[in-house]
Chain A
């Protein structure tokens, strides 16, 4: 009942705003939507506190599909993993909803915006509360739909509409993998419910079968969480309003892929090969996206690549078997990346729509709240203690360090790149000197309270949320790892080596921040003009030409094949067949219609003749 209420409140908001939205005052529509999500958050907290440790909350099961040989139930379940996710989702969503009231105040379609946002929260909660893969898939597709609707929220701009299409289509590629995984799971286990599958795992399923299933599941995760090779939609998805980027494309929806893998942990553990693939894709994506972020100028694009990179980093941890560390980083990342996006939104709002960091600078006195909170976000993502990112990144790096020195170095490289591009952003936006038009300097303004208060709350969360899983090394109790039952069983290890690695990491990150400061906190900044780029810089600023490669290697050939197929198969064969049938019937009727002469006697003659014929046949046969 409680679970049903948690997920139905946002749905009610969606229905209310869609069908009665025009009777509501614009702002009050937003307030209603935000209140519903906030209530959902309070209920999630309640569920979180009343559920006993390792207990499961279940609503249902209701029969959803029951045909011959296939059954799926519609039921919600909340175990510790779900509860943690649900609290995070509803909490961040509520903050972003309130923020959006301020951010979208001027938009004429604010009601539509909030109805989509509420629908998104509904589907996201459905995704994490589903007790079987099919229902999870329903939520999965639902959030994809909302993502599409919100990226294309300003659909009158054809660029934005195209970005929405791109996101939708690339997600479909991953979803195909997910669907195949569901089918394979059903064939293998005869059920799609998590508990049924879990209980059958002991019965010895072949490793190859497991590898197939997990790789297909991972394909779905790759699409949703924007990993190589299906990542190009996420930077383009920044076409949507900034709160959407914060909620869907940073904190919640893109983490659905990671949630799926953690949820299928028992399957992945049985297939070492799949885990290697996950780790490999993760680390390559993390390095790749972080390097692209070094040379972007759009404030939201930098954060988008940062998100891809961090998600890759989390997948890296998953692949190493550190499920608890990845969930921990997922949560802290949700807080500080939502914070960074909302700060970026606040900067854009203050500059009346300017997104290019080449035309910003020295904003720290003009928008102090945004400055402080964004600085906290940047420190958190860079992994500076005591902010949350330090603890969660340290967990991942510790796991990497145990799996091999090379992996640790790769992880460190991601951290260094991250801190460099983040502080490049901070220095270019808030320090140095203002590079925009001088007449616009006077118009720069801090955002209203409604927007800054969520920023402060999120900054607070980004600062302290690391405490939920302080590593044992520092005398922490690793609450999250134990609570979710994901704790990785570590071998006996060398504490001294771990301390040393941690301190090296910290020093290197600090050095990187100072390096960024020395380059970007100056009067003359060499990197800003795109013409003077060296080949490597150009490669990065063009994002490794991946979009161009996809365009010429996949999209264009497909378009050409489609044209060929259209002109030959469609026009000649399919149309020919259909039209041929029509023509044949037409010609035959031209002959037979003379039977209908209009003369009654003629008809009667045939009738009598027919009767006689039937009689004769009856007599002689």
Chain B
């Protein structure tokens, strides 16, 4: 029987935070700079999962299962959100034959 808590705690907490922060920043920058809407949705997922990682790590270090339970809920919500997001992209593709978000700029002054 492996003790998951001690296995997780074998890696210092700072490393988890750094990885999570890196993932989050990659996601943010991706959202701002990428034009393909599918990639943007992937970036959103990346950000969500970086937070999930952080929650799991803190939960393991504190010896409290609440954080990990939380992660499950976030995953469910993320799945739902992706469903909606992909549906939107499908509609978008049907309208302009492209998923390029920069073409979707008619709503302006």
Binding site for B on A (CB under 8 A): 593-594, 596-601, 604-605, 608
Q: How far is the CB of A301 from chain B (nearest CB, A)?
A: 71
User: Apart from A596-B108, A598-B105, A604-B32, what are 9 other A-B pairs with CB-CB below 8 Å?
Assistant: A596-B107, A597-B108, A597-B109, A598-B106, A599-B108, A601-B32, A601-B33, A601-B35, A608-B32
B52 at the binding interface (Cβ < 8 Å) = no
- C-alpha spacing A608/B43, complex, angstroms: 14
Within the complex, which residue of A593, A594, A608 is in contact with B28, where a contact is CB–CB below 8 Å? A608
User: 22 A-B Cβ contacts within 8 A?
Assistant: A593-B109, A594-B109, A596-B108, A597-B105, A597-B108, A598-B104, A598-B105, A598-B106, A598-B107, A599-B102, A599-B105, A600-B101, A600-B102, A601-B32, A601-B33, A601-B35, A601-B101, A604-B31, A604-B32, A605-B32, A608-B28, A608-B32
Residues of B within 8 A of A599 (CB): 102, 105, 108
Residues of B within 8 A of A594 (CB): 109
Q: Is A596 within 8 A of B102, CB to CB?
A: no
Nearest neighbor of A593 in chain B, beta-carbon distance? B109
Number of interface residues of B (CB under 8 A): 13
Q: How far is the CB of A335 from chain B (nearest CB, A)?
A: 80
Given known contacts A601-B102, A608-B28, is B35 in contact with A596 (CB within 8 Å)? no
Using a CB-CB cutoff of 8 Å, which residues 26-60 of chain B contact chain A? 28, 31-33, 35
- C-alpha spacing A594/B108, complex, angstroms: 8
Which of B104, B106, B108 has the most CB atoms of chain A within a 10 A radius of its CB? B108
Q: How far is the CB of B3 from chain A (nearest CB, A)?
A: 37
Residues of B within 8 A of A593 (CB): 109
Residues of B within 8 A of A597 (CB): 105, 108-109
Interface of A is mostly: helix
Q: Is B109 within 8 A of A596, CB to CB?
A: yes
Nearest neighbor of A597 in chain B, beta-carbon distance? B108
Within the complex, which residue of A596, A600, A605, A608 is in contact with B104, where a contact is CB–CB below 8 Å? A600
Binding site for A on B (CB under 8 A): 28, 31-33, 35, 101-102, 104-109
Residues of B within 8 A of A596 (CB): 107-109
Residues of B within 8 A of A598 (CB): 104-108
The 5 A-B pairs at the shortest CB distance, nearest first, are namely: A598-B108, A598-B105, A593-B109, A605-B32, A600-B101
Nearest neighbor of B37 in chain A, beta-carbon distance? A600
- C-alpha spacing A598/B101, complex, angstroms: 10
Nearest neighbor of B34 in chain A, beta-carbon distance? A601
- C-alpha spacing A148/B51, complex, angstroms: 79
Nearest neighbor of B31 in chain A, beta-carbon distance? A604
Q: How far is the CB of A175 from chain B (nearest CB, A)?
A: 56
Q: How far is the CB of B38 from chain A (nearest CB, A)?
A: 14
Q: How far is the CB of A585 from chain B (nearest CB, A)?
A: 15
Nearest neighbor of A601 in chain B, beta-carbon distance? B32
- C-alpha spacing A597/B105, complex, angstroms: 7
Residues of A within 8 A of B109 (CB): 593-594, 596-597
Q: How far is the CB of B92 from chain A (nearest CB, A)?
A: 11
Residues of A within 8 A of B104 (CB): 598, 600
Q: How far is the CB of A13 from chain B (nearest CB, A)?
A: 63
- C-alpha spacing A605/B32, complex, angstroms: 6
- C-alpha spacing A289/B14, complex, angstroms: 107
- C-alpha spacing A594/B35, complex, angstroms: 21
- C-alpha spacing A597/B101, complex, angstroms: 13
Q: How far is the CB of B89 from chain A (nearest CB, A)?
A: 13
- C-alpha spacing A593/B32, complex, angstroms: 21
Nearest neighbor of B102 in chain A, beta-carbon distance? A599
- C-alpha spacing A599/B102, complex, angstroms: 6
Q: How far is the CB of A176 from chain B (nearest CB, A)?
A: 54
- C-alpha spacing A598/B105, complex, angstroms: 4
Q: How far is the CB of B109 from chain A (nearest CB, A)?
A: 4
- C-alpha spacing A598/B31, complex, angstroms: 16
- C-alpha spacing A600/B105, complex, angstroms: 7
- C-alpha spacing A594/B106, complex, angstroms: 13
Q: How far is the CB of A590 from chain B (nearest CB, A)?
A: 9
- C-alpha spacing A596/B108, complex, angstroms: 5
Residues of B within 8 A of A604 (CB): 31-32
Residues of A within 8 A of B31 (CB): 601, 604, 608
Nearest neighbor of A595 in chain B, beta-carbon distance? B109
Residues of A within 8 A of B32 (CB): 601, 604-605, 608
- C-alpha spacing A601/B34, complex, angstroms: 8
Nearest neighbor of A611 in chain B, beta-carbon distance? B28
Q: How far is the CB of B17 from chain A (nearest CB, A)?
A: 16
Residues of A within 8 A of B33 (CB): 601
- C-alpha spacing A594/B61, complex, angstroms: 49
- C-alpha spacing A608/B33, complex, angstroms: 12
Q: How far is the CB of B5 from chain A (nearest CB, A)?
A: 31
Nearest neighbor of B106 in chain A, beta-carbon distance? A598
- C-alpha spacing A594/B109, complex, angstroms: 7
- C-alpha spacing A223/B32, complex, angstroms: 78
Q: How far is the CB of A480 from chain B (nearest CB, A)?
A: 84
Residues of B within 8 A of A608 (CB): 28, 31-32
Q: How far is the CB of B98 from chain A (nearest CB, A)?
A: 14
- C-alpha spacing A597/B107, complex, angstroms: 8
- C-alpha spacing A608/B32, complex, angstroms: 9
Q: How far is the CB of A376 from chain B (nearest CB, A)?
A: 87
Q: How far is the CB of B24 from chain A (nearest CB, A)?
A: 11
- C-alpha spacing A600/B35, complex, angstroms: 9
Nearest neighbor of B107 in chain A, beta-carbon distance? A598
- C-alpha spacing A597/B102, complex, angstroms: 11
- C-alpha spacing A456/B83, complex, angstroms: 96
Nearest neighbor of A589 in chain B, beta-carbon distance? B109
Q: How far is the CB of A603 from chain B (nearest CB, A)?
A: 10
Q: How far is the CB of A606 from chain B (nearest CB, A)?
A: 10
Q: How far is the CB of B6 from chain A (nearest CB, A)?
A: 34
